[in-house]
Amino acid sequence: MAWFIPNLKSAVTAWIVCAGLASAQAEEDRLADLFAALQVAEGQDALQIASKIVDEWSQSGSPSMDLLLDRGRSALEEGDTTTAIGHLSALVDHAPEFAEAYNARATAYFSADQYGPALADIQTALALNPRHFGAMTGLAIMFEEIGELEGALTAWREVRRYYPASPEAEAAIPRLEREVDGRTL
């Protein structure tokens, strides 16, 4: 019977790992399908697909972590950046591989005029999820706000690469190209 317990533990551990890998693969497949659809979608269809992608990114896999994200976002909507940063910092501490945690906290830091920490969090979010067009959008907005127009243009072009019908990118790119490159479209 003693041999059974370690073997059972190994079998359960292997099953959990395999189930987690299968779940991660299913999520990646869903995201790949959504990104493929987003490349050709326009108008309201593109907005809906982008929203589905953001919903996927907002799922940490842990109800507790999702609650912290929701609380942080709610506090931010209420204008309570200090509480938002607190909840989102706890989320980052407990889920350091969750890109959306960093993106949400970057938004809170930006709202509190703390650009340094906001930029650091955007950098981490993009390192964890290079296709995160929401983090790229935040980066573009921050660059523009601090007068770094070339950086803003580059970031908006990256947004457009993943989300071609982004209304914000569609509006910003021609304007910034005129300012940076002297071109008119």
7-55, pLDDT tens digit by residue? 544 544 444 444 444 455 667 889 999 999 999 999 999 999 999 999 9
Question: pLDDT above 90 covers what percent of the chain?
Answer: 82
28 lies in a domain?
no
107-142, pLDDT tens digit by residue? 999 999 999 999 999 999 999 999 999 999 999 999
Q: What is the pLDDT of residue 25?
A: 67
DSSP category for residue 182: -
Q: What is the pLDDT of residue 181?
A: 81
User: What domain count does the chain have?
Assistant: 1
Q: What is the pLDDT of residue 34?
A: 97
Tell me the chain's radius of gyration from C-alpha atoms. 20
20 lies in a domain?
no
Q: What is the pLDDT of residue 4?
A: 45
Residue carrying structure tokens 């980066």:
139
Q: What is the pLDDT of residue 28?
A: 82
Residue 119, domain CATH: 1.25.40.10
5 lies in a domain?
no
Q: Are 111 and 76 in contact (CB under 8 A)?
A: yes
2 lies in a domain?
no
Q: Domain containing 174: what range?
A: 39-181
Measured between alpha carbons, how far is 174 from 152 in angstroms, rounded to an integer?
12
